[in-house]
A and B are shown apart, each in its own frame.
Chain A
Amino acid sequence: MFLGLYNYWIVVVLMMIGFYIVIAHGNLIKKLVGLTIFQTSVFIFYISMAKVNGGTAPIVGDGIEIYSNPLPHVLILTAIVVGIATTALGLALTVRIKEAYGSIEEEEIQKKDNSTC
């Protein structure tokens, strides 16, 4: 039972790891890493959902009766693009924050903000 659904367990574990990192770490880059892990877990979730036992890649050809559901793959392709865009934007922001504050630690940034205003 548990082993049979091992891919879902991996999803859940990854998700929690990612989420934990986002919340617990003060370093902006690490937060982004966590976010990416979090997103990736969802990707895996979609992919494993699409898998049909004994299916092959969804290519139209002779003799192929069982194949994986292609739709989630398509979806997740989009989601991956979105994820990359998010990460890229996040990283770009981090660079700008580093330029503006000279730090990428959450606490230090807040300290600087509080002292200036």
Chain B
Amino acid sequence: MAAPLCLLFRHSRAAWLFALIASGTALVISILLLQQVLATGLISYALGGWQAPWGIEYRIDTLNAFLLLIISSLSTVVLLAADTSISKEIPKEKHSLFYVLYLLSLTGMLGIVATGDAFNVFVFLEISSLSAYALIALGSDRRALWASYQYLIMGTIGATFILIGIGLMYQMTGTLNMHDLSNRLPEVAQTRTVFTAFAFVIVGVCLKLALFPLHLWLPNAYAYAPSIVTAFFAATATKVAIYLLIRFTYSVFGFSFSFTALPLQLLFVVLGVLGIFVASSAAIYQSNVKHLFAYSSIAQIGYMIVGFSISTVAGLTATLLHLFNHALMKGALFLALAAVMHRIGSVQLSALKGLGREMPLTMAAIVAGGLSLIGVPLTVGFVSKWYLVLALLENGWWPVAMLILLGSLLAIVYVWRIVEVAYFQPRVGPGELSKDSVREAPLAFLVPIWLLVIANVYFGIDTRLSVEVAQTASESLFGLSQ
């Protein structure tokens, strides 16, 4: 979690190595943490020696550890490809800056997840967001600037909302420690202030989350950011926001309060399902593949929200699983797109013509990721869909289950548009530029891409790890709140 050192490296390669090492270390630490948490339960670390309710506490339970693992592993894998990818998309002199920002952003995300202090969440949120705005603005297209600006406005509003919410909570309880908050909030649960605080926090988080209809910033931000950044954010950023949502509703405010105080359940189901449909339909009509997958991300967030809103152990397990699985598939997809970008300099759908022949491994990865998005068996997408539908049925929500499955049909449509273009159209149409032969992506891309694809399949077949962790995490959340 130490980043700024990176600034010292003027040379980009060195910065890359350093970033890789830092991220890798974070990965190792988070694996160890997860093991330890699974074995012993809570770990807490009081920063600066102040004890829990007063000082800032880092508190790791299964949920955090799981998220830490997702974020650090994805970041490491993405970084593997970063060096090659940014060499084309970002001017040389900015390389070390890029890694600084990247690591800052990573720090922010890990911090959000690890901290047990509500205000600290805000600080880390801003750290990661600010570096995210800057990262997006590094995109080569000038629209990246505009996208970044929009994101900045929306993000800041969201963060400020959270800040207000936290302030109100503090006012009512006099504490900022999450665990402490959850103990003290029930006493004052029926006051209007707490309702307001709750509403502010939820709306703020949903902005960050890009929950439909607060998603407008996301597609542009994803589409115009440097490809590697997109891969990183798509796999991690929204996950962190989901984590916050879960953390606040389940742990801090407590399950019973969250779901009885406001018609949250209904609201989230409706928004989730709407999100799935609207975003998937939007994805179908995109001509830029990055846009397409960005919309698909919004749709996938919809799935997670639906799982979340079921508010049973099974539902939450499904959400957490999907969190993990979606990180895997989107990571693979966007990395593959980065490779395409690297080779042909465009991710317009029309530019992908015939690529199935020129870059077979990369396109195969996209197909595999796409299948996972659809939820074809033997991929992770299927696992999460299975659990989600099962959770829905458990609650007797037949229509929603049906709608969710229908939603995945839309995924077939947009994934298949890519497949058809890539495999069934000739590379060079008549009268166009003659053969500028495109080679397969360099190894630096292929290794991380296929790592993720294999993870996609592996966790689609052997779900023990992910399911177990997700299940313990959600059980512990319910244990905390009841």
Contact = CB atoms under 8 A, between A and B. Distances in A.
Is chain B found bound to chain A in the same assembly? yes
A22 to B, nearest CB: 6
Given A79-B163, A89-B152, A113 B123 contact: no
Nearest to A15: B164
A82 B146 contact: no
Contacts of A82: 122-123, 126, 130
A39 B170 CA distance: 18
B229 to A, nearest CB: 15
Interface stretch (B88-96, B153-161, B334-342, B421-429): B153-161
A46 interface: yes
B137 interface: yes
A26 interface: no
Residue among B119, B137, B145, B148 facing the most chain A CB atoms (10 A cut-off) = B145
B230 to A, nearest CB: 18
A76 to B, nearest CB: 9
A97 interface: yes
Given A42-B167, A49-B167, A49-B170, A93 B148 contact: yes
B160 A96 contact: no
A81 B443 CA distance: 42
B130 A109 contact: no
B145 A96 contact: yes
B35 interface: no
B126 A72 contact: no
A45 B232 CA distance: 35
B13 to A, nearest CB: 27
Nearest to A95: B145
Interface string B113-147: 00000010011001000100110010000110110
A31 B156 CA distance: 12
A93 B164 contact: no
A86 interface: yes
B421 to A, nearest CB: 19
B44 interface: no
Contacts of B126: 82, 85-86
Nearest to B136: A93
Interface string A67-84: 000011001001100100
A66 to B, nearest CB: 16
A6 to B, nearest CB: 17
B257 interface: no
Contacts of A78: 119, 123
Given A38-B160, A78-B123, A100 B171 contact: no
A46 B262 CA distance: 26
Nearest to B175: A71
Contact of A109 (B146, B153, B170): B146
B18 interface: no
Nearest to A75: B119
B450 interface: no
A100 B145 contact: yes
A94 B150 CA distance: 11
B259 interface: no
B245 to A, nearest CB: 21
A101 B123 contact: no
Contact of B133 (A28, A31, A89, A109): A89
A107 B36 CA distance: 54
Contact of B142 (A86, A89, A101): A101
B167 A22 contact: no
A28 B164 contact: no
B149 interface: yes
B226 to A, nearest CB: 15
A86 B149 contact: no
Contact of B122 (A22, A35, A79, A97): A79
Contacts of A94: 149
Nearest to B148: A93
A101 B149 CA distance: 13
A90 B163 CA distance: 19
Interface in B163-178: 163-164, 167, 170-171, 176
Given A49-B171, A90-B152, 15 more contacts: A22-B157, A38-B157, A72-B167, A78-B123, A79-B163, A82-B126, A86-B130, A86-B156, A89-B134, A93-B133, A93-B137, A93-B152, A97-B142, A100-B145, A101-B146
13 contacts: A39-B160, A42-B167, A78-B119, A78-B123, A79-B163, A82-B122, A86-B130, A90-B156, A93-B148, A93-B152, A97-B149, A101-B142, A101-B146
Q: Which 4 A-B pairs give the minimum distances between C-beta atoms?
A: A100-B142, A82-B126, A97-B145, A93-B149
